[in-house]
Amino acid sequence: MNKNTVEFRLFHEFYKAAKNNLTQGAWDYLIGASETETTLKRNRAAFDSIAFRPRVLRNVDHVDASTTLLGKKLRMPVVLAPIGSLQDFHPEGGAAVARAADRFGTISILSSVSQPGLETTAAACQGPKIFQLYVRGNEAWVEDHIRRAMDAGYVAFCFTVDLDYYVKRERDIAKRYVTTGRRVAGKNEEHQRRFSWKDIARIRDRFDIPLIIKGIATAEDAKLAVEHGIQVVYVSNHGGRELDHGRGALDVLPEVVEAVNDNAEIIMDGGILRGSDVVKAMALGADAVGIARLYGFAFGAAGEAGVLRVLEILEDEIRSTLGLLGVTGWSELDQNYLHFGAPLVQAPGYRSAFPLLEEGY
């Protein structure tokens, strides 16, 4: 741990530092969502509404938080989800995030609208990486990106499919703020709107690389993904940044788990801000979770070192939560450790995960 990050011990400290470091436009882009931001709030409410049923007097001296995803060993079941325009939070962008993930022992997913781009980010470190694409060109354009990702050594290729229309993100509009990635990727969006299961079938037939579909929000589409040979079904509502009034991602997870029926691996993201959130998602059947805003705060606060530090703190919370539940690893965890429908004691939102913010820390 270097001198610049040793002071970070709590998640809300990253939040505060990032808010101080970033421009108002970049900050609002990081924390914001679409229209009324209802989906974002439901993401948090889904976690806040589940309580734990801990077991005691078990030997939990050794707790193993590691797992595997796509055949790769992960130090914990947390991947760094794609964030567009990472370069707006720190000039090193996706390369620094990939290095942090590699140093910690997990996987980063590079957004196609984050710099320094596919090949440069791949060369930044030796650890496993995934490339995520927004479709902004024809079949040849898409296939060129797949070939480039394969040549660069990415372990999987991810399509984000819940962005057919760019919904009003009113924090950005109010500031007249446009991200650097949006300035480039805001063109040729008709290709995304035309992209369909037919394209997925064609790609599955032509390329030997694991495919991930990110943006699954129903059992019906999870079944279609399995039927199309998708290796990873990624439950996500874009962090509440697209369709407003969607369900919380954690609320969607159980029906997707049932639909997939162990025929693909499952990642979910949306509202994960604590180690206890990770444990709840895993108990409901996820194989791994994605974090985005949480490491976005850390990246804005302290760059690569901040991302590494936030992963370390998250791991500590995960391990202590598992131990206090009376389990020593993921194979022992199931829904019997959860209680559903517990009343909320605070309004949902970011601050429900960071109560010290309300106390002026």
* Catalytic annotation, residues: 238
CA distance linking residue 252 with residue 216, whole number of Å: 9
Cα of first residue to Cα of last residue in the chain, in angstroms, is 23
Q: What whole-number distance in Å separates Cα of residue 129 and Cα of residue 122?
A: 7
Angle at 107 between CA 220 and CA 309, to 5 degrees: 120
For residue 169, give both structure tokens: 């993100």
